Amino acid sequence: MHELVPTASVTAALLNPTFPGSESQSRDLQAAARKLGLQLHIVHASTDRDFDPIFAAIVQLRADMLVIGADPFFFGHRDQIAALAIRHRMPAIFFLREFATVGGLMSYGPIVTESYRQVGINAGRSLKGEKSADLPVIQSTKFQLAINLRTANALGLEGPPELLARADEVIQ
């Protein structure tokens, strides 16, 4: 995201305080912001009604871009979040490509089908008699970058050629 919006100095991160992984996401985002020299504001949403006031707050904070936390609640509201980001002219990144396909600017995260494949492998091993405690913890190793050029153009952003070349999917 920082490559697409290189002049950004203030970032907002949308997290769901009721999601178990939100604290670790907050720590990781704060560390990344420090490393990039960005000011980071954490904002929270956990209900449908939170989105409109949160986006108004993000604008008041003068955020240059928005990182949307990895959370099933946000995934279920990706259309609404993408529409609000465009309406507020806020470049936003999400963790799954479906966000970019519904109009969000970009996504970077694990390939979900690969994760499901790994779950199937472990399920098969378990069905063959291996103890669950003996199965390895598997983390995603394949990630996907998707960029929506229509949204980038609507936001007045030009994708650097190097970034577009690295993208797994460029939505025209």
* Structural domains of the chain ordered from first start: 10-109+144-171 (3.40.50.2300)
What average pLDDT does this structure show over 145-170? 93
- Cβ(165)–Cβ(135) under 8 Å? no
pLDDT band at 117 (very low <50, low <70, confident <90, very high): confident
**Beta bridge partner(s), residue 170:** 147
What average pLDDT does this structure show over 113-120? 82
Strands 106-110 and 143-148: antiparallel
**Residue in 104, 79, 103, 78 with CA at minimum distance from that of residue 93:** 104
User: What does the pLDDT read at residue 110?
Assistant: 87
- Give backbone dihedrals phi and psi of 61, rounded to 5 degrees, phi first: -75, -5
- For 127-141, the pLDDT digits (tens) are 999 888 888 887 778
What is the end-to-end Cα distance of the chain in Å, rounded?
A: 18
User: What does the pLDDT read at residue 114?
Assistant: 80
What average pLDDT does this structure show over 40-62? 95
pLDDT band at 152 (very low <50, low <70, confident <90, very high): very high
pLDDT band at 60 (very low <50, low <70, confident <90, very high): very high
